[in-house]
Structure 1
Amino acid sequence: MTPKTPFKPFAYSIAPTLLLSLLHSPFALSDDTVVLAPVKVEADLRQSQAEDMPVSITVMDSTELQDAGATHTDDVLLSAPNVNVSNQNARVKHIQIRGMGERDEYTGAPNASVGLAIDDIDFSGLGGIGNLFDVQQVEILRGPQNTRYGQSAIGGLINIQSNDPTPYRESLVETSIGQYGHKELGVMTSGPVSDKKDATQYRIAVFKHQSDGFYQNETLNRKDTNGKDELTLRGKLRMFATANTTVDLTLLHADFNDGYDAWSRDNTFTTRSNQPGNDNQLSNAASMKVTYEGNTAYNVISTTSLSNTDALYNYDGDWLAKAEQFYENQKHRRHMSQDLRFQSKESARIFNNSTDWLIGAYASNMDESNYSDNYYAGSTELIDSDFNHQKLAVYSQLDQHMSQKQTLTYGLRVEHNRQTFKQTKKNYSDETLTDDFSPDETLWGGSIHYKYRYNPNHMAFAGITRGYKAGGFNAGSGASTNVTYDAETLLNYEIGLKSNYLNNRLQTATTVFYMDRSNPQFDGYSYDSASEWIFYKENLDAAQNYGLETSFDWQATYAWQLFGSLGLLFTEVEGTPANSNFTMSGRDQAHAPNYQFHLGTQYRAANGFFARTEVRGMDSYYFDNVNDGKTGAYQIINARIGYEAKDWETYVWGNNLTDERYATRGFKFDHYDGDGVQEYIRLGDPRQFGATLRIHF
């Protein structure tokens, strides 16, 4: 697909010159310039500040999310360097970091490479409910996070933390309207339940999103077959059980009823399906975090979570006004986890009072059942499966303060994985196939990070991390592919520099990384003689993912801010695949663009005027590992302008101002109706205008 505007390296060549010239301009050193505030990272075991962590991380706080008009993770993920997504679904569920991550999930057991946590609840592979109303921050940690999060984070981790209850009363109402039937309403209230000292604090947030979507169904003469109808409710309590014990309780209800009618034979916004699909998710979840600080030597942190999800995913498989094919999957997932952590205080340092310590244990149990019904030309394929995944892990971390400037951090996690998978499949030939797998393995990950703060404004760091991902099996794959695949491990090497300039008004961060993957897991699909799609994974010998991530945030004056990031990514694959459909020899891995950028500026005046514009873009990339289908390079420009008073704000906004046509997902296959092998793409959102009003009281 050819983009309207090619990527211009000139923009990057002038950016450093522009930045340096502005640094030396008189207004850049104005005394009334505000200072960039530090941000605490909730996903870190010790909840360190982002600028002190010797890792590659992007943190978007509540102010940044509101300034960007972000109400869902769909709106922000592509603004972070080396983060890509697969728009296989109505909402983004599959995320890739540094080229690692799933792109879809049709059969077999769930096994995400990128972890997703919402208020300490694991939603890996279920990211469609990533609502960002009343959210404190979104944290994106790149590279393996196994010592923090276990085997579900070999590629990275997305952590969403909502706002906590407040000791004072506050409320918020937010509403938006826009083109294509866009309507949003959010309500939040927070405060103590009484005026007593240490009274329980509460916070309640409700958010409703509705839209018609951007597609028009020509067959049904409808404009809402790809629409959205989404409700998110969140309740939080902070209870002070004793003078030294705090209990944080979170309840989450998400009911997403979205249409799924996004594919057209001519790759346009006009669809012709006679049975438009659905992409629904109903999740009820809870987490309880207990923090005890009464011991003189350590704090105790216990986190318990429970989630229950029902999902329905179906679509018209032939995309035409005929009853040739219809696919449906019904999923039920139940997940429970318990984490217990002992974290030392400064008075309990070991090794001659030089080293902070942390030890913990983690256990989880996930049950998932799937029922798939694939109708094709008068025949039906039925798949009924049950999956159980149990994890038991112990982990530790030591932070050795070698001097006032130097710290060496060691991390280790040992995790036992036990999986049970049973499946019954009735294929189109009326044959019944059964699968029964029970793999059992122990994996370990570790890390060593060195950081050197050679003055208060600059911190250099280097680290080595060993990540892992459990093996699995190809359910119902037949004899044409490997039935099982082994665990993948990788060594991630990083060096970087984080700096503050101009009295903390300019922050920069740069990381260079090299990921050496052993037994890398790659997925693909094929179409066999029995007229059925087969999805599979297999191990290759080795793979390498390497590149750079850099970002800056500059509060140039009291009113004016500039920000941006750049990600560079290069990938290689070694080995001969067992399945002949793989086409990765001499090319990049799928969904791994060579560059990705985000550049913006924002003006917030004392008189209330607000303006913001930003551009993000990325290089072309391959859709899959089994063909040469690619998206084109593209750039998206968004803008907002508004007025901010003491208790209210209003904005007018526009997304994709140039109405760029670009692909967010694609396949290359034969519909077997005379057209031959063709490339089919899912288009990204077109230009859209709207307005938002926010009232505080």
Structure 2
Amino acid sequence: MKHTFPALLALAACSCAFAAEPLPIVNVTADFRDVPDTEFASSITVIGGAEVIARDARHLEELLNLAPNVNFAAGASRGRFYQVRGIGERSQFVDPINPSVGLMIDGVNFSGLGNAGTLLDVQQVEVLRGPQGTRFGANALAGMINIRSNEPTEEFEGSVSAGVGNYDSYVASAVLSGPLAQDLLGRLAVQQYRSDGFIENDYLGRDDTNDRDELTLRGKLLWQASDRLTLDTTLTLIDVDNGYDAFSLDNNRHTLSDQPGVDTQQTHALALHADWNANARFRVDATLAVEQTEVEYGYDEDWTNTEICEGLACDSDDWGFDWWYSSTDTYFRERDSLQFDLRLISTEDGKLFGQLEWVTGLYAIDQREDLRREFFDWDLGSPTTFASQYDSTRIAWYGELAAPLSERLTLSTGIRVEDFSSDYDDLRGVSASPDETLWGGEISLEFQADDNTMIYGLVSRGFKTGGVNGDALGKAEQNNFDPAVIGFLNSRLVFDTEVAHNFEVGLKGDYLQDRLQLRLAAFHMERDHVQLKGWYNEGPLFVGYTDNGAAGTNRGLELQAGFQPIDTLNLFAAIGWLDTEIEDFFILDGDTLINQTGRDQAHAPHYQFNIGADLQLNSALAARIELDGRDSFYYSDSHDQQSKSYALLHASITYTLGDLVLRLWGRNLTDKDYTVRGFYFANDPREFYEDDQAYTQLGDPRTCGLTATYNF
């Protein structure tokens, strides 16, 4: 056996002699070069396509528990907002946002469009944790989620799949892949997922007001234009037509709304990619992408109906006026984005001084986001429309060098300089034009301790651009809020850029003849001018704004392990521990400023875990069982309401008969109630709107189904 650490030798000594196939090594595609994850000097989780299928996952929210220290927030039909290591947005209403956690799908930047995270024909999902200041810049202060779909194949192949489940759900998909002509390969994949959802609207007598209707279509072409040039094209259509009726006055899955909302997204994206071996010294990697998206997000603002008080203490017959209010709030967004990324990557012959690997590149993105909001204006006493326009441009240069200091020690450095400019205008007359030059990067040391073990140390700097609180100020002025409140919001019209410094050490190793995999990371992050969400409520009126705290601290541990004691059994675990703190962040409660210093950050549970096993019972029958869960966490930085800790049990049984695969699956098998979003305000007319209350959105209950797939 090759030399390993004493602790691993002890573990090996305790293991009986057995034969097993080595666990597979996966490549990371989000780096400048595709590299094995054992050579990627940063904390990352790579979820393969087989795991996506085993969970029968149709959206990212059904996968993220596999990655330590990753959370998500709903407040919509899906978990559209992501948090990594306690950092990330939890909602978007009026104002434009720059996401802390980016989302890339087949080379296209979908950051801020979480409904796009449907899972169709997926090769792998990569969750990068910590600032990605060199690779991705402003969209990856906390991390990046990178989804890669399967590539066209040289041999003709395909599959058709259909499945049914409880809550009147069904899914149908098909994939065709293979050669189309000489040196031209193609792949076409389509999936339709439909479910009535898990809410019963008792007032309307319906069980589909929170339904899911998601269509994904993807086409790929790969042309080997010459021995040195490869061109590929990806065309993506995502059509999400979901309902949104998730909040109940009684915090259960029975709603009383008379005007259920919607959560739709129509996206068209085209990515053109070229890989050109320009000469013996470097190759050129270029991507041009166009993305156009229309989003409609709306809800019944009162969560009730006009008959809510009949026969109760708040009955209008007893008071002479209605205690209830009735209104809807709907947001229509159109986003157009043009992205270009051009990089030069050194070859073996192109190393500087014969030793230094290098990368240099230019990135540009021009994005326009138009908003139209239709809502009830309480000051005017009538429905009204609000509109805003936000244009932003980012142009960046980046570079990376890797220098071998010895046979086993490598020093890597990277830097990114990004010029950001934007213009915001709205119908209330609020305008602002934040612009600045930002920089980030990283320095890492990689030490190959032996043939099995890589140890790394990393210092990285990430950044997230500032923005505008146009809605909060305009709404407060229009509705004649107290002058002190208007003054408070006016001083926060523009909020500052946030910067995060990440200090990380880690170990990646494959032991026992590659039957044991360990991935361990410890990190400490210091956040400057931390961007936090605050809320101010005045009766049924509320405004949300982003403010800068002086600082924040996020530190923790991340462990991922896989162990295959015998050919037929694979054990796996992912465990995260997280400790966070807010410093010098003030919220407005009435006319009082409250200092939140010392409190945990929102959506940052102290622990999170996923443990399980894959068992091959015989040549045809396989089973998977897993348990994942997380600690309680605060719903918001502006109040102290918390979720409860929970653990969810999932399982699947797969039967393979030639080219036919049958899979019986179940998630949350114990039907555990858990929450994915929470608010705190007064919204119950039955209580005369007297006291603020915590209102929560429940995650998916027990779901189960049967899926059949035929491969050819």
TM (normalized to structure 1)?
Answer: 0.93
CA distance in structure 2 between the aligned counterparts of 1:291 and 1:582, rounded to whole angstroms: 55
Map 1:340-379; keep pairs closer than 5 Å. 340-350=342-352, 352-375=353-376, 378-379=381-382
Q: Secondary structure at the match of 1:78?
A: helix
Cα deviation for residue 211 of structure 1 reads 0.3
CA distance in structure 2 between the aligned counterparts of 1:441 and 1:672, rounded to whole angstroms: 45
- Verify the 8 A CA contact 2:196 2:209 in the aligned structure 1: yes
- Verify the 8 A CA contact 1:325 1:376 in the aligned structure 2: no
CA distance in structure 2 between the aligned counterparts of 1:684 and 1:591, rounded to whole angstroms: 15
Residue deviations 1:77-105, cap 9 Å, x none? 12210000001111221000001100000
- From 62, 80, 85, the counterpart of 2:72: 85
Matching of residue 290 in structure 1 with residue 305 in structure 2: no
In the other structure, the counterpart of 1:8 is: none
- Verify the 8 A CA contact 2:536 2:543 in the aligned structure 1: yes
In the other structure, the counterpart of 2:165 is: 178
Cα deviation for residue 130 of structure 1 reads 1.2
In the other structure, the counterpart of 2:30 is: 43
In the other structure, the counterpart of 2:92 is: 105
Relative distance call for 1:251 and 1:259 in structure 2 (3 A) is same
CA distance in structure 1 between the aligned counterparts of 2:229 and 2:39, rounded to whole angstroms: 27
CA distance in structure 2 between the aligned counterparts of 1:501 and 1:576, rounded to whole angstroms: 46
CA distance in structure 2 between the aligned counterparts of 1:406 and 1:379, rounded to whole angstroms: 68
- From 599, 605, 609, the counterpart of 1:587: 599
Cα deviation for residue 144 of structure 1 reads 0.5
CA distance in structure 1 between the aligned counterparts of 2:235 and 2:598, rounded to whole angstroms: 49
Q: Secondary structure at the match of 2:50?
A: helix
Matching of residue 608 in structure 1 with residue 646 in structure 2: no
Q: Secondary structure at the match of 1:476?
A: helix
CA distance in structure 2 between the aligned counterparts of 1:80 and 1:49, rounded to whole angstroms: 18
- Paired amino acid for 1:397: E
Cα deviation for residue 24 of structure 1 reads 3.1
Cα deviation for residue 543 of structure 1 reads 0.8
In the other structure, the counterpart of 2:392 is: 389
Map 1:124-139; keep pairs closer than 5 Å. 124-139=111-126
CA distance in structure 2 between the aligned counterparts of 1:501 and 1:586, rounded to whole angstroms: 41
In the other structure, the counterpart of 1:257 is: 241
CA distance in structure 2 between the aligned counterparts of 1:608 and 1:356, rounded to whole angstroms: 47
- From 452, 466, 482, the counterpart of 2:447: 452
CA distance in structure 2 between the aligned counterparts of 1:503 and 1:64, rounded to whole angstroms: 23
Cα deviation for residue 129 of structure 1 reads 2.0
Paired residues in the alignment total: 665
Residue deviations 1:615-665, cap 9 Å, x none? 000000000011111100000000111212331211111111111111111
Cα deviation for residue 152 of structure 1 reads 0.8
- From 199, 204, 207, the counterpart of 1:215: 199
- From 652, 658, 666, the counterpart of 1:654: 666
- From 311, 321, 345, the counterpart of 2:305: 321
CA distance in structure 2 between the aligned counterparts of 1:268 and 1:633, rounded to whole angstroms: 17
Relative distance call for 1:340 and 1:639 in structure 2 (3 A) is same
CA distance in structure 2 between the aligned counterparts of 1:583 and 1:162, rounded to whole angstroms: 46
CA distance in structure 1 between the aligned counterparts of 2:290 and 2:585, rounded to whole angstroms: 42
In the other structure, the counterpart of 2:651 is: 639
Matching of residue 24 in structure 1 with residue 11 in structure 2: no
CA distance in structure 2 between the aligned counterparts of 1:140 and 1:381, rounded to whole angstroms: 41
TM (normalized to structure 2)?
Answer: 0.91
CA distance in structure 2 between the aligned counterparts of 1:485 and 1:294, rounded to whole angstroms: 44
Relative distance call for 1:381 and 1:624 in structure 2 (3 A) is farther
Cα deviation for residue 143 of structure 1 reads 0.5
Cα deviation for residue 277 of structure 1 reads 0.8
CA distance in structure 2 between the aligned counterparts of 1:558 and 1:527, rounded to whole angstroms: 59
Map 1:403-414; keep pairs closer than 5 Å. 403-414=406-417
In the other structure, the counterpart of 2:431 is: 436
- Paired amino acid for 1:648: L
- Verify the 8 A CA contact 1:583 1:626 in the aligned structure 2: no
- From 470, 473, 476, the counterpart of 1:475: 470
Cα deviation for residue 672 of structure 1 reads 6.4
Matching of residue 683 in structure 1 with residue 698 in structure 2: yes
- Verify the 8 A CA contact 1:582 1:626 in the aligned structure 2: no
In the other structure, the counterpart of 1:463 is: 458
- Verify the 8 A CA contact 1:451 1:460 in the aligned structure 2: yes
In the other structure, the counterpart of 1:564 is: 573
- Verify the 8 A CA contact 1:522 1:539 in the aligned structure 2: yes
- Verify the 8 A CA contact 1:180 1:211 in the aligned structure 2: yes
Cα deviation for residue 402 of structure 1 reads 1.5
- Paired amino acid for 1:438: S
Residue deviations 1:141-161, cap 9 Å, x none? 000012101101101000000
Cα deviation for residue 21 of structure 1 reads 7.7
CA distance in structure 1 between the aligned counterparts of 2:236 and 2:172, rounded to whole angstroms: 17
- From 654, 659, 677, the counterpart of 1:665: 677
Greater displacement, 571-580 / 109-118: 571-580
- Verify the 8 A CA contact 1:647 1:695 in the aligned structure 2: yes
- From 489, 495, 498, the counterpart of 1:485: 495
Residue deviations 1:328-367, cap 9 Å, x none? 00000001100000000011111x3221011000011000
CA distance in structure 2 between the aligned counterparts of 1:644 and 1:582, rounded to whole angstroms: 60
- Verify the 8 A CA contact 1:324 1:376 in the aligned structure 2: no
Q: Secondary structure at the match of 2:135?
A: helix
CA distance in structure 2 between the aligned counterparts of 1:143 and 1:281, rounded to whole angstroms: 29
Residue deviations 1:364-422, cap 9 Å, x none? 10000011112267533532000011010000000111222111110000000001111
- Paired amino acid for 1:405: R
- Paired amino acid for 2:701: P
CA distance in structure 1 between the aligned counterparts of 2:331 and 2:511, rounded to whole angstroms: 53
CA distance in structure 2 between the aligned counterparts of 1:316 and 1:590, rounded to whole angstroms: 25
Cα deviation for residue 64 of structure 1 reads 2.1
CA distance in structure 1 between the aligned counterparts of 2:711 and 2:212, rounded to whole angstroms: 27
In the other structure, the counterpart of 1:160 is: 147
CA distance in structure 2 between the aligned counterparts of 1:376 and 1:183, rounded to whole angstroms: 40
CA distance in structure 1 between the aligned counterparts of 2:390 and 2:123, rounded to whole angstroms: 34
Cα deviation for residue 606 of structure 1 reads 4.2
CA distance in structure 2 between the aligned counterparts of 1:651 and 1:677, rounded to whole angstroms: 46
Relative distance call for 1:476 and 1:269 in structure 2 (3 A) is closer
CA distance in structure 1 between the aligned counterparts of 2:435 and 2:455, rounded to whole angstroms: 40
Matching of residue 514 in structure 1 with residue 535 in structure 2: no
- Verify the 8 A CA contact 1:184 1:210 in the aligned structure 2: yes
Q: Secondary structure at the match of 1:556?
A: strand
CA distance in structure 2 between the aligned counterparts of 1:561 and 1:646, rounded to whole angstroms: 23
Q: Identity over the aligned pairs, expressed in percent?
A: 37
Q: Secondary structure at the match of 1:534?
A: strand
In the other structure, the counterpart of 2:312 is: none
Cα deviation for residue 37 of structure 1 reads 1.7
Cα deviation for residue 22 of structure 1 reads 9.4
Cα deviation for residue 538 of structure 1 reads 1.1
Cα deviation for residue 171 of structure 1 reads 0.5
- Paired amino acid for 1:53: F
In the other structure, the counterpart of 1:4 is: none
- Paired amino acid for 1:159: N
Relative distance call for 1:23 and 1:123 in structure 2 (3 A) is farther
CA distance in structure 1 between the aligned counterparts of 2:290 and 2:230, rounded to whole angstroms: 20
What residue ranges of structure 2 are gaps of 5+ in the alignment?
A: 1-6, 307-324, 474-485
In the other structure, the counterpart of 2:46 is: 59
CA distance in structure 2 between the aligned counterparts of 1:187 and 1:477, rounded to whole angstroms: 46
CA distance in structure 1 between the aligned counterparts of 2:252 and 2:12, rounded to whole angstroms: 43
CA distance in structure 2 between the aligned counterparts of 1:343 and 1:536, rounded to whole angstroms: 42
In the other structure, the counterpart of 2:402 is: 399
Q: Secondary structure at the match of 2:536?
A: strand
Greater displacement, 491-500 / 34-43: 34-43
Relative distance call for 1:253 and 1:603 in structure 2 (3 A) is same
Relative distance call for 1:543 and 1:694 in structure 2 (3 A) is same
